[in-house]
Structure 1
Amino acid sequence: MAGVDYASLRSIPISYATCSLGNPSDPPLLLDRLHAISLAGFAAVELSFPDILSYGQTLLGHEVEPANYDEVCTVAAAIKSECDKRNLGIMMLQPFANFEGWPEGSDGRKDAFERAKGWIHIMQACGTDMLQVGSSDTPLEKLNKGRMVADLRELCDMLNEHGYKCAYENWCWSTHAPDWKDIWNIVKEVDRPNIGLCLDTFQTAGGEWADPRTESGLSEDVSKDELDKRFKKSLEDLTTTIPKDKIYLLQISDAYKVPQPLSAERDDSGLLPRGQWSHDFRPLPYNGGYLPVVDVARAVLQTGFRGWFSYEVFDGGAEGKGKNVDIVAYARSAKNVQERLLAECAGQKISEQTATR
């Protein structure tokens, strides 16, 4: 496997997801987060739809309904203006969920395509050209798997009318496409020039190598040696099979081992265990997690990809109960993590103090 040239990594642009700075259960105000992200030297943000709704209450003085796209677009345009003031681009709108595979004529399908039209208007308002679509976690018995590819083709064609693209992400709790190979096979079949992959260190390692339902925190269907071999082979396959131009971004986060193994059942909100894990147990790399983040990032870089690295963390502390942080310091810490991560991907070392201060 080819090495990674450190000098080539200097051009990688970095982004931070607006939804993921501060306590995930009680996030700071959006403008404070934008200020911290800008101050830390990030070039752009992923704009989260829930952040549009929450800022809408501040801006308009009342709760904004998710399907009131006129008001949502007014708020999105105001957020774009605030980002412009801080020299931040809006790299992507996220997270577009439970879109693909609803049966023909179903209420789910009608809602999915109404949302798609509305979210395209939001993209126009906030000035982004990329929509993140997460692989659906709707129970399979409610879906028609034969419609997955056709629905994504239709979405890509809708986006293409505006010069927009779709970044398809494997959510590791998805009911039909939890692994990178699953979404890559779907993307190949969709066969549109404006669809690519949103890869994620948590989704990849957390889905294939780790498991919050076990005492060890690891997948226990095979021995530890066999697990490591299997995951290494998966990353080698990623490097050798995905063209670099079909990767639109790499999201970065680690994971804490959960204090107690999670139940295999959905929780009261309908989340599967890996979705619950994702919600509160995702720190920055080098800050108490245990996933092989560097291995995943290196495999992605070995494809030749030099596009967006984007930090999306949900750091509720090792107990997952939330913690108060200085968001300016935390955003700067993320910037330092980026420097250490790229150095280690290229086989270099920088001081731990540099990466976590």
Structure 2
Amino acid sequence: MGGLDYNSLASIPISYATCSLGSPSNPPPLLDRLHAISAAGFAAIELSFPDILSYGQTLLGHEVEPSNYGELCKVAAEIKKECDKRQLGIMMLQPFANYEGWPEGSEGRKDALERAHGWIRIMQACGTDMLQVGSTDTPLEKLDKSKIVSDLQHLCDMLKEHGFRLAYENWCWSTHSPGWKDVWNIVKQVDRPNIGLCLDTFQTAGGEWADPRTASGLLEDVPKDKLEKRFEKSLEHLSTTIPKDKIYLLQISDAYKVPQPFSAERDDSGLLPRGRWSHDFRPLPYNGGYLPVADVASAVLKTGFRGWFSYEVFDGGADGKSKDVDIIAYAHAAKNVQDRLLEECAGQKISEKMATR
């Protein structure tokens, strides 16, 4: 695999997810976060639905129900004004979850369709054209897998009426599509011009290379040298099979090794182990994590993709116990990571980095 031309990477636009600046359990006010993201030189945000809810309480003086789309649209329109003041675009609304695969006539299906209509209204209000959909983690026994493709086709068709796109992401704790190959196969079957991939360094490396349930922090179904070769092969496959225009964005984060291996069971809130890991143990690259972030980013860039790199971290510290941080400094650190990451992607081949790890 050849190296990447660093000059070709200079035009990559960068975004920051609003939900991921500051302590995961106690985020600072949204306007403070928008200021920090803008001051650090990011071009846009991913607008997180929980931030619309929390800002709604500030703006309207009462708690906003997640299904009160009239109020949510008012709040989203105000957030757009605040972003405009700071020269920030709203690149995407996220995270739309547990949408696809509910059986015909089920409450889950009814709720999913109601949410889809409501979130499209929010997209119109905040001025974004892209909806992130995470591959569902609903228990498989509750799903009808034969509905997944047609459900996503229906959502694409709903979005198309407004000129909107669907960015489908593999969540590495998804019950039906945890890997990039899984969601890519679904996107090909959906076969709509307005669906593409939301790839993610954590979701890819955290699913195919690492494992929070083991003492080593790595998958242990094969010896380490075979694991490295298998992962390298997967990334090479990614770089040679996905057309660049079917990648809508790449989300960037690393992961800490967890202090004690996680249990394989769902926790009290229903989260699977990789979901728990994702929630609190995702720092910026080069800040104490251990995932091969640059390897994933390099593979994505080798497709020819030069679209959005978006920072989505959930940094609860190495112990997962959230601490307050200086969000201005943190946003600037993320901007510096982008420069270093692109230099690393352009500087070394994956095989060389694998050999020195």
Match of 1:351 in 2: none
Task: Name the structure 2 match of 1:315.
Answer: 315
Write the letter of the residue equivalent to 1:120. Answer: I
Q: How does 1:20-31 map to 2 (within 5 A)?
A: 20-31=20-31
Deviation digits for residues 85-121 of structure 1 (CA, Å, limit 9, x no counterpart): 0000000000000000000111110100110000000
Could you say what secondary structure the match of 1:11 adopts?
A: coil
CA deviation string 1:26-83 (max 9, x = no partner): 0000000000000000000000000000000000000000000000000000000000
CA deviation after TM superposition for structure 1 residue 324, in Å = 1.7
> What is the 5 A alignment of 1:179-218?
179-218=179-218
Matches within 5 A, 1:212-231: 212-231=212-231
Which whole-Å deviations, capped at 9, do the CAs of 1:223-245 have from their partners, x for residues lacking one? 00000000000000000000000
**Matches of 1:218 and 1:321 in 2, distance apart?**
22
Instruction: Supply the distance in 1 between the matched residues of 2:96 and 2:49 (Cα, whole angstroms).
Output: 8
Corresponding residue for residue 5 of structure 1: 5
- Tell me the equivalent position of 1:341: 341
Aligned residues: 348
Unaligned runs of 5+ in 1: 349-357
Q: Are residue 16 (structure 1) and residue 16 (structure 2) matched?
A: yes
Distance 1:343 1:284 in 2: 16
> Identity of aligned pairs, percent?
83
CA distance in 1, matches of 2:142, 2:91: 32
1:91 aligns with 2:91: yes
Supply the distance in 2 between the matched residues of 1:146 and 1:325 (Cα, whole angstroms): 45
SS at 2:115 equivalent: helix
Report 1:295-334 matches (<5 A): 295-334=295-334
Which residue identity is paired with 2:331? A
Aligned residue in 1 for 2:127: 127
After TM superposition, give the deviation of residue 4 of structure 1 in Å.
0.8
1:316 Cα deviation after fit: 0.2
Task: State the SS of the aligned residue for 2:304.
Answer: coil
The C-alpha deviation readout for 1:165-206, integer Å capped at 9, x for no partner, is 000000000000000000000000000000000000000000
In structure 2, C-alpha distance between the alignment counterparts of 1:243 and 1:32, rounded to whole Å: 38
Cross-structure match for 1:156? 156
Per-residue deviation, 1:2: 2.7
What is the CA–CA distance in structure 1 between the aligned matches of 2:163 and 2:57, rounded to whole Å?
31
Give the match's secondary structure for 1:203. Answer: helix
Give the secondary-structure state (helix, strand or coil) at the position aligned to 2:103: coil
Structure 2: which amino acid aligns with 1:268? D
**Aligned counterparts of 1:269 and 1:283: Cα–Cα separation in 2:** 22
C-alpha separation in 2, matches of 1:64 and 1:266:
29
Aligned to 1:238: 238
1:220-299 correspondence runs (5 A): 220-299=220-299
- Which residue identity is paired with 1:231? F
Tell me the CA shift for residue 323 of structure 1: 1.4
RMSD across aligned positions (CA): 0.5
Q: Distance in 1 between matches of 2:330 and 2:121?
A: 32
SS in 1 for 2:32: helix
2:53 matched residue in structure 1:
53
Alignment-derived partner of residue 169 in structure 1: 169
Give 1:112's aligned amino acid: A
In structure 2, stretches of 5+ residues that fail to align are 349-357
| Matches for 1:50-129 after TM superposition, within 5 Å | 50-129=50-129
Shift of 1:337: 0.2
TM-score between both structures, scaled by the size of structure 2: 0.97
Question: What is the DSSP-based 3-state SS (H/G/I as helix, E as strand, rest coil) of the residue aligned with 1:251?
Answer: strand
Query: Shift of residue 346 of structure 1?
Result: 0.2
Taking the aligned partners of 1:182 and 1:43, their CA distance within structure 2 comes to: 31
Q: Which amino acid aligns with 1:154?
A: H
Q: How far apart in 2 are the matches of 1:3 and 1:187?
A: 28
- Please tell me the residue identity of whatever aligns with 1:337: V
Q: How far did 1:3 drift?
A: 1.9
Distance 2:56 2:262 in 1: 35
Partner AA of 2:182 in structure 1: D
Distance 2:2 2:289 in 1: 27
> Does the residue aligned with 1:182 lie in a helix, a strand or coil?
helix
User: What TM-score, normalized by structure 1, do the two folds share?
Assistant: 0.97
Q: Deviations over 1:122-161 (max 9, x none)?
A: 0000000000000000000000000000000000000000
Query: Given residue 209 of structure 1, which amino acid in structure 2 is its aligned partner?
Result: W
Shift of 1:280: 0.2
SS of 2:10's equivalent? helix
Structure-1 residue corresponding to 2:353: none
Distance in 2 (alpha carbons) for counterparts of 1:58 and 1:14 = 28
Aligned-partner residue type, residue 285 of structure 1 = P
Q: After TM superposition, where is structure 1 displaced by more than 4 Å over at least 4 residues in a row?
A: none
